[in-house]
Every structure is written in structure tokens, then in C-alpha cells.
Structure 1
Amino acid sequence: MKKRISFTLLIVFYSSLFFSQQNQINLLKEQLSNTKITDSLKIKLYGDLGWYYGNIDLDSSYFYTKKGLDLALKTNNQKGIGQSFNDIGIYYYRTSKYDSALAYYNKSLNIRTLLKDSVGIAGLFSKIGITHQQTATLDSALYYNNKSIRIYEKLGLKRYVIINQNNIANIYQNLNQFDKALEIHFKVLTERKKTKKPYDLSESYINIGNVYQKQNNYLKSKEYYNSAIEIAEKNNLIRILSIVYNNYGNIFKEEGNLNEALKFYQKAYIIRKKLNDSYGLASVTGNLGVLYYEAAKFKIAEPYIFESLHLAKKFNAKELELSAYKTLTTLKAYLKQPDSTVYYQKKYDDLNNIIRNEKITEQIVDIETKYQTEKKEKEIAQQKEHILTQELKIKNRNLYAILLASALIILGILSFGFYKKNQIKRKQLQKEIDLKDALAT
């Protein structure tokens, strides 16, 4: 009975969170009903509707975003096309269709590059980096986040520099470089405390809690998760709540408190189901499957694990897929199903090799890129040296010509001076001769 009441209260609570989003949506629809607004404004309003629906109804989010794109294409509004491609990329990211997200981000990037939209380009580099992070291609994630930071630094947009630094800290966390991750996260948190933006603050608290969780420092982890929950509940940040509830469940599971873990996983599951957050659902269903497996409730565990596997495969979330194969291998072994055990163990090994090979390939590409960059830089340096040598030769020739001309001018002046002096002397001598002749007569 107590559990039923808590779930009822939870649903009522989330209904109030969605209500505030609906108010904003109603205001946007009211503006759209004005027949006198321009096509450019309509495109923007469609995009805004797509954004707000993204938190409560992803089908409606896509519907309005697509309407914005169609109108932008019809009116050849390049800025609107670029924004709509970006927004559709966000939709695919939210639904964990990462390949499609990257495709639309790159379409938007092409448009924004033509428009020389530096802010938009930096934003896309950041989104592309985060998407690569979700698919465990961490080298690419780091590369694009750094590209984004360089642009934001040039533009003096400090808040967005901090957002990307936060992303980089998460990458270091995924690489198990926890001290480096915490160092960056605390710097980011210090800056975010100055701006006091609820989403940013709650995100930082979650990220710091995540690092402490990976270090098995559950007391510190809970401390930061509690700070995130307090801010998120106060400001209706339901997506943030789904993350922290899921992570809180992980802590209780590790501590062996399966009842508390189940409570928090179910809270996360309710939100993610409502948001149609496929990646989040793949994560939390996987966690529920492991939880029920550890509680020896195998019949309940198996459907959750298969749901997690299905979603992970559908949206190319390799790390979650790998985790599902690992759990299924141990589950089938415990159930004494040798054929299935061997099958899922092979699936695990094959995928693990693919992930490892992809990382090796990326490292090779990275080395090749660095080599080509160094080679190009060397060629540029040689060209600069050649140009400087030529410029020096030209300068020396010019200097020689100037000196020669100056010498000739000076020589000419001196010659003219001697000539004039001799001419004057001749005239004086002639006058003296004429004077003598005159006196003689």
C-alpha cells in the first residue's frame, strides 16, 4: 500500500513538472496563430515548440521541428534551414539515434559554415562531441569539444567555454582519469556558482557525484547527488532528475540496499518512459535487469535485460549493448543453459573486439592526422623561410640600389661644386686680367 501511494505521489509530482512546459507551449502556439507574423518568425516559433516538446513529447517535438524545416526550405531561408537541421539533430540525439543525429548536425554545420555563423558552428562542434561521447568514441569527443572551446574563447563566450570544459571532464572520467576529471569539474562548479543557472549547477553536482561514485566514495557521491536533486526538483528539471535517480540507484545497489535501489530505478524509469528517452531507458532497464538478477529473481530480470539490449542495438549504444551481453552470459550460465551462455559470451567478445578495434583505428587516424599536420606545418615553415630569404634578397638589392644612387647623387653634387668653384675662379682670373689690361692702357 505504501509503495502504491509513493508511486501516485510521484506521478502527481511529474504531472506538475510537465504543466509548466505546457504553459510555454501554449504561449508559442498563440503567437503562431497570428496570421500577420513573418515566415522567419514562424520558423523560429516552430523550432521553439520543437524544443519545449522535447521535454514532454518527442513525437510532437519532431512534428514542429519538421514544419520549421519545411517552411525554411520553401522560403530558402538559409539561417532557418541551418537551425532546423540542428534541431532535428537534437531530436535524434534525444531519441538515441546517434548516427542520424550526427548526419543532421553535419548538414547544419555545412549551412552555418557558408553563413560564417561562428556561434552556431561552435555549438555544433560541442553537440557532435557529446554525441561521440555517447557512442564511446572518446577521441573524437575530445577533438570536437576542444574545437568548440577555441571558437567560444575567441568570441569571449565564457559560459559556453565552461559547458565544453564540463564535457571534457566527463570524457576524462570515462577514461578513468578521475583526478583530472574532478579538477576540471570543481573549476566548472566554481564558475557556475557565480552565474547561478539551475540546470548548469545541477549538472555539475551530478558529474562530481558520478566521479566519486566511480571511486566508490558513496558518501561524497550522495552529498552531491542530493544537491542536484534539490535544485532539479525546485526548477522542474525532469531530465536531470531521471539521471540522478538512476545514478542514486546504482549506489544503493553497490551498497547491497536493493529495495532503495529499486525505488530510485523505478523513479528514473517513469520519467524516461514519459520522455521516450531511449538511451536512458536502455540504461535503467539494464540496471533493473542486473538488480533482479542479483536478487535471484531471474524471470523478472531477463525481460529487462533484453529490453536494454534491444534499445542499445537499435541506437548503437555499444557500451550498453556490451553490458547486456555480459549480464546475459552470467544469467544463462546460472540457469544452466550452456548453448545460450556460449552464444552471449561470443557476442560479448565480438563486440568488445569491435570497440577495441575502433579505438585503435581512431588512434591510427589521429596519429596520421598529427603527422600530416606536422608535415604541412613543416612545409609552411620551409615556405616561410624561402619567402623571408627572397624578401631579404630583395631588401638587400633595394638597399644596394639606394646606396649606389645616393653615392652617385653625392658624387654629382661634389662634381657640380668643384665645377662651380672652378668656374668662379676662372671668372675672377679673367676679371683680374681685364683689369690689368685696362690699367696698362
Structure 2
Amino acid sequence: MKWKLYIWFLALFGLSFQGFAQNAQDIIDGLKKDLKANPETKKVASIYSDLTWYYSKVSIDSALHYGGKALSESKKLNDSTLMAQVYSDIGAVYFIKGDFVNSKLNYLSAYKIRKLRKDSRGLAKINNNLANIYEKTNQYKAAMASFIEALSYFESIKDEKNIGIIKGNIGLIHLKLKNYPKALQYIQEVVAYQEKNNFTEDLCVSCLNLGNVYLNLNDTINALKFYDKSVKACTAVGNKKGISSGFNNIASIKSEQKKSKDALALYEKSKQAREELNSDLDKNNFDLNLATNYLANNKFNEAKAVLLRTRKFYEQTQHNEKLQKNYKCLIKVCSHLNQPDSVDYYIDKLAVLNEQLLVSKSEKQTAELETKYQTEKKERLIQKSKAEIATRELEIKRKETQFLILGLISLALLIIIYLVYRQQKLKNKQQEQEYELKSAIAKIETQNKLQEQRLAISRDLHDNIGSQLTFIISSIDNIKYAFDIQNAKLDSKLNGISNFAKSTIIELRDTIWAMKKSEITFEDLQARIHNFMEKAQEAKEDICFTFSVNPLLKSNTFSSVEGMNLYRTIQEAINNSIKYAQPKNVTVNIEPDENGIAITIADDGKGFDREMVVMGNGIHNMQKRIQDIGGDFDLVSKPNEGTKITIRLT
């Protein structure tokens, strides 16, 4: 799959894309020929994706048609790489069409896939594409942030070509912000690099952008020079988008120079390329420039018809800068047609739009728009009577003052609200941190007290009960040594008491061990259970005991109660196997599973039928211990197939 980056900047603000210096229609014909050869499924999906890409240069409708096919096929294949590429291609097509909402949605879908795949290069390309959308919707801060992020990546891998593309895009933001020296610096550097490396298709775009900079610097000679270079490069690669934009911009200059005949001929060439591409945004931008030419040549009715049509599109798609130009032209047209009600209507519409843009644009930009608006108002009213001119100027100034004051008051209120909110948020955060600190201190103190209590109890158990049990064992041994006991029943009873006391001491030591610890790990349990198994091995030499803990779990911690419950449950399960199952092997295995941790105790003994056997206290005690620590207990046993106990902890 070829790498594709095809983002456009339209008309007066240029465009930017990446591709191959080859005629798009020739490539499309070759791809369709490949389709007729009945390739394998994955190749079909790839061809549909390429057709989406190359049709974006010559026909938007066809590009979206093949984009749908490519997306459907890539989903059938469950090929995430191809799906990400198709979403990017469709995003580029919608961008060219002027549908920035759908363009952004598709780019974000591609971004999500590339992020999961940890595709740093792909993410950098999408950041560049999203930045172009932000630029077109006047979100310059977001656009610059995304461009810088993409530029940082490509500079880190020394990808000169993509560095040039992004620098060109950054130059376009400076152009939008009217920082023409900066824009000239960035885009001149890009053009020089592309000319040196014969990147014809890239020059198609970059020369158009450089022409736009020179036009804003009132250098029409250089503007026409680079527009002409752009048209030649775009023609060489079959880029109808670039051809249309180049002819359109040259026609605008000719119109300003009062060369109406030349301008109309160029507009016709632009229209022909634009209609073949079928881009809604290009169509309306072209019509807006055509209306400007009609207005310059006093064709007011023709200009009004075109302006009303483009106004509807710009209002629906919220292209506010173009809408400003549209309203201003309608004010001039209606003034010349002596339609004062319409003039007032569009004055109000323009004023409201200016107020909306006041929030998002810098003070300098707003002041320039208002000055331009006032100048155009004066020009529009020049043919009216002096009384009408004076009245309208006073009304305009009053409205301007109202809107400016309203905007400044709104801005001041927003700043005050923000400062109050920020202060309250900081205060709440500080109080929350103080509360959390106090809670943490109280918790630590409580834990320390509990630990001290546990240690005191464990010492008492060890010093008192442990000593007493040891005394009992010692006393029984002394009795047996001092007296020649002939009574077998009595001797057995004394042995039973001694053994019981010894096992009680062992359990007491386990309990003291658990109480002394604030946390118990699987590694601690492993050592404890190994000791128990070694003693069991001495008693049952014919049984093989195996115990394993996954290394990833050895550092997992439990409270002393949880650790003791687990230890007692495993111990009881092993004891049951030894007593009843007559196994050859007993295994304990601790592994992670999809929901947490799984502990299995299994034997290959004689097993039993659960429905035929009454469960004793031992199994009920095991279930209760595991339930108390929030785990699940499961026992599976079949006659002659052994028994398996599974404990699951989340």
C-alpha cells in the first residue's frame, strides 16, 4: 500500500498534499485493469483503496464510491493496517469536498487504529491532516500544536520530505494570521527544496501557496509567476484541484486589473477543472470569485444571483471568512440596485458575524475587519444623498460601538468568571488535598496501632500458649519415660495428646507468622506451603508433591487475614487428598488468568461422586474461607479421575 497524504488548502489560502509525480488518470486506468484480472481478495481491497486515493484528484463522487468499497473489503479481511489507510483516504476526500466534520471523523478512526498498533509514523501523518482541518475551521492554536507534534516526529527520523510539507503548512497558518514575512520564509524554503529534488506534484501545491503570500504582499508580478508554475506542475500530474485553484487565482488578479475578458476566460478554465473534480467547496469558492468579477464589471443582477447561491452553502458549512466576503459583496450589490432594506439586512448579518468572530480572533484581526467593513460602507453609500450618507454612517458607528462594547463586556465577564472559577477550583483542590492528607495520616496511625496490637497478641500467643503446649508435650514425654506403661490404650491416648499438642504448636506458629506481617506475598505462601509439603512427604513417601507460582505473581500482596485463609485452604485441600484420595501426585499451581488469579490444587487419586457423598466440615470451611476474602471456590471430582479444587481471586 502506497503512503498517502493528500490534504488541500483551497483558493486564496493554498493547499497541501503528498503523492507521486504521475498523471492520476493513467494510474486509475491501470488499477481498473488490475481489477479485471480477478486478483485475490486482499489485492482487491488494496486496489479499491488506491482508486479512492487517485480519484480524489479527479472526481470526488467516484473517490467516495470506491472508498466505501475499500472500507467494506478491509473490514471483511479484518486488516487493521488497511482499514487505517482507507479511513485516512476517505478523510482526505471529504476534506477536498469541504465536509470537515466527516473528514475529521474518518481521520480520528484512522488515528485510533494506528495508536493501538503503536504506529508513530502514521500518527504523525494524521496529526498533520487534523491540523489542516483545524486551520480551515480557524482553530489556529490547535492547528499549530498538531503541526508541531508531527514536525517533531519527522525531524527525529530526519524525513526531509515530510518536514518540508509540514513547514509549508505552518507557513499557511502564518499567512492566515497575516504574518506575511514568516509565511514567506517558511514556504520559500519548501519550494526551494522541492525544486531541487524535482518533486513536481508537491510544487503544484507549494507554488500556489507562495503565490498567495506574494499576492497578500501586493507583489502581483511574483504572485502571477508562481501561480503559473503551479498550473504547469498540476497539469503535468493531472491534479485538477490544483489546476482549478491556479486558474482561479490568476483570474482574480486579472479581474482586479480590470482585464475582464482575460479573467472570464481563466474562470472558465478553472470552472471546467473544478466541475470534473466535483468539489462543493471549490465550486462555491469559484462562484464567489466569479461574483466578484461581475461586481467589478457592474453586472449587479448576475452577481446577486451567484452570491445568494454561495451564501447558503457558506452559512450551512460555517465557512465564516468566505461568508464575510459574501455579505460584503451583497451589501455593495444591493446598494447599487437601490435595495435599502436588503442593505440593512446584510449589514446586520455582517455585524452579527463579526461579533461571533470577535471571540476567536485576535484584537488586531477584528480591528482590521471593522475598518474594512466601515470603508466598504462608505463606498456603498457614495452615490446616495449627503443626508442619507450622514444618517447611515451614524447608524453604522452606533452599531459598531454597541457590538464592540458588548464584545469587550462579554470578554471581561468571561475573564472575571474564569478567575473566580479558577480561584475556587484551587481552593477546593487544596481542601481536598488537606482532607486526603488527614485521612492518610489517620489510616497510617490506625494501621500502626493494629500492627502493634497484632504483634502484642502474637507475643502473648508465643510466650504463653506456646510455652504451655510445650510444657504439655514435655510432661507427657516425662510420664512415658518415668513409668513403664503397659496399657496400650493409655499409651495411644498419651501419644495422641502429644501429637495434637505438636500440631497445635505448628498451627499456632502459622497464625503468629501471619499476624506479624501486615502484608503476605505468594512468595511467603510458597515458602510456608513448601515446609508443610516436606513434612507431608516424610509421612507419605509414595506421594509426589509439586508446588509452583508464576514469577509474575510472586510479588502480589494480601492482608494477613487473606493470606492465612489461602494458606489454610490449600493446607486443608492437601490434607484431604492425603487422607482420602490415595493419590500418586498432588500439585498446587498458581497462575494469572483473564479475570485475576487462579489457584488449583489437584490430585490423581480415586476421586468421588459429589452427589453420592455428603460434604464434610472441611470442604465447607474451605468454601467459607475463600468467600470471606471475596474469591470463588470450585470443586470438581469424578470416580477414578481424581479431584481438582480451583480458587479464583479478582
- The TM-score bracket by the shorter chain reads 0.7 to 0.9
Distance 1:23 1:189 in 2: 26
Distance 1:61 1:236 in 2: 15
Residue 32 of structure 2, aligned match among 29, 49, 53: 29
TM-score by length of 1: 0.74
- Aligned equivalent of 1:7: none
Does structure 1 retain, via aligned residues, the 8 Å contact 2:91–2:103? yes
Does structure 1 retain, via aligned residues, the 8 Å contact 2:330–2:346? yes
- Aligned equivalent of 1:162: 164
Q: Deviations over 1:121-142 (max 9, x none)?
A: 1111111111222222222222
Does structure 2 retain, via aligned residues, the 8 Å contact 1:312–1:318? yes
Distance 1:26 1:204 in 2: 27
Which secondary structure state, in structure 1, belongs to the residue aligned with residue 58 of structure 2? coil
Q: For 1:126-205, list aligned pairs within 5 A.
A: 126-205=128-207
Q: Deviations over 1:404-429 (max 9, x none)?
A: xxxxxxxxxxxxxxxxxxxxxxxxxx
Which secondary structure state, in structure 2, belongs to the residue aligned with residue 136 of structure 1? coil
**Identity percentage over the alignment?**
26
Distance 2:268 2:311 in 1: 18
- Aligned equivalent of 1:310: 312
How far off is 1:286 after superposition? 0.6
Q: For 1:46-65, list aligned pairs within 5 A.
A: 46-65=48-67
User: Larger RCO: Structure 1 or Structure 2 (Cα < 8 Å, ≥ 6 residues apart)?
Assistant: 1
Does structure 2 retain, via aligned residues, the 8 Å contact 1:279–1:315? no
Which secondary structure state, in structure 2, belongs to the residue aligned with residue 55 of structure 1? coil
Q: Deviations over 1:385-411 (max 9, x none)?
A: xxxxxxxxxxxxxxxxxxxxxxxxxxx
- Aligned equivalent of 2:390: none
Does structure 1 retain, via aligned residues, the 8 Å contact 2:28–2:55? yes
Q: Which amino acid aligns with 2:135?
A: Q
1:71 aligns with 2:73: yes
- Aligned equivalent of 2:338: 336
Residue 360 of structure 2, aligned match among 358, 361, 365: 358
Q: Which has the larger radius of gyration?
A: 2
Distance 1:20 1:187 in 2: 26
Distance 1:22 1:243 in 2: 19
Residue 85 of structure 2, aligned match among 83, 86, 92: 83
Q: Deviations over 1:69-93 (max 9, x none)?
A: 1122223221122122112211211
Distance 1:229 1:75 in 2: 41
Q: 1:20 to 1:173 in 2, by over 3 A?
A: closer
Distance 1:20 1:86 in 2: 21
Distance 1:22 1:217 in 2: 35
Q: Which amino acid aligns with 1:126?
A: N
How far off is 1:34 after superposition? 4.2
Distance 1:229 1:221 in 2: 12
How far off is 1:359 after superposition? 4.0
Does structure 1 retain, via aligned residues, the 8 Å contact 2:194–2:200? no
Residue 239 of structure 1, aligned match among 230, 238, 241: 241
How far off is 1:36 after superposition? 4.8
- Aligned equivalent of 2:109: 107
Does structure 1 retain, via aligned residues, the 8 Å contact 2:61–2:278? no
- Aligned equivalent of 1:284: 286
Distance 1:217 1:249 in 2: 16
Q: 1:178 to 1:20 in 2, by over 3 A?
A: closer
Between 256-265 and 211-220, the greater mean CA deviation after superposition: 256-265
Q: Deviations over 1:97-146 (max 9, x none)?
A: 01111111111111111111112111111111112222222222222111
- Aligned equivalent of 1:427: none
The unaligned stretches of length 5 or more in structure 2 are 1-21, 363-410, 427-650
Which secondary structure state, in structure 1, belongs to the residue aligned with residue 238 of structure 2? coil
How far off is 1:219 after superposition? 1.4
Q: Deviations over 1:142-190 (max 9, x none)?
A: 2211111111112221101110100111111111111111111121122
Does structure 1 retain, via aligned residues, the 8 Å contact 2:88–2:107? yes
- Aligned equivalent of 2:126: 124
Distance 1:213 1:23 in 2: 34
- Aligned equivalent of 1:8: none
Between 306-315 and 189-198, the greater mean CA deviation after superposition: 306-315
Does structure 1 retain, via aligned residues, the 8 Å contact 2:168–2:190? yes
Distance 1:234 1:167 in 2: 23
Distance 1:89 1:42 in 2: 20
Name the count of aligned residue pairs: 348
4+ residue runs over 4 A deviation: none
Between 96-105 and 303-312, the greater mean CA deviation after superposition: 303-312
Distance 1:203 1:26 in 2: 24
Q: 1:235 to 1:88 in 2, by over 3 A?
A: closer
Q: Deviations over 1:12-69 (max 9, x none)?
A: xxxxxxx954432232123234445242x32221110111222222222111111111
Q: Which amino acid aligns with 2:288?
A: G
- Aligned equivalent of 2:10: none
- Aligned equivalent of 1:395: none
TM-score by length of 2: 0.51
Distance 1:211 1:120 in 2: 30
Q: 1:35 to 1:273 in 2, by over 3 A?
A: closer
Distance 1:36 1:181 in 2: 47
Does structure 2 retain, via aligned residues, the 8 Å contact 1:135–1:319? no
Distance 2:197 2:137 in 1: 31
Q: Deviations over 1:289-322 (max 9, x none)?
A: 1111121111211121122223323333221122
Does structure 1 retain, via aligned residues, the 8 Å contact 2:128–2:147? yes
How far off is 1:199 after superposition? 1.5
- Aligned equivalent of 1:404: none
Q: Which amino acid aligns with 2:264?
A: L
Q: Which amino acid aligns with 1:248?
A: I
From the two aligned structures, give the one with the greater helix fraction.
1
- Aligned equivalent of 2:5: none
- Aligned equivalent of 1:211: 213
- Aligned equivalent of 2:94: 92
Between 29-38 and 336-345, the greater mean CA deviation after superposition: 29-38
Does structure 1 retain, via aligned residues, the 8 Å contact 2:54–2:63? yes
Residue 251 of structure 2, aligned match among 243, 249, 252: 249
Distance 1:190 1:25 in 2: 30
Distance 1:336 1:324 in 2: 18
From the two aligned structures, give the one with the greater strand fraction.
2
Q: Which amino acid aligns with 1:29?
A: K
Q: Which amino acid aligns with 2:28?
A: I
Does structure 2 retain, via aligned residues, the 8 Å contact 1:178–1:211? yes
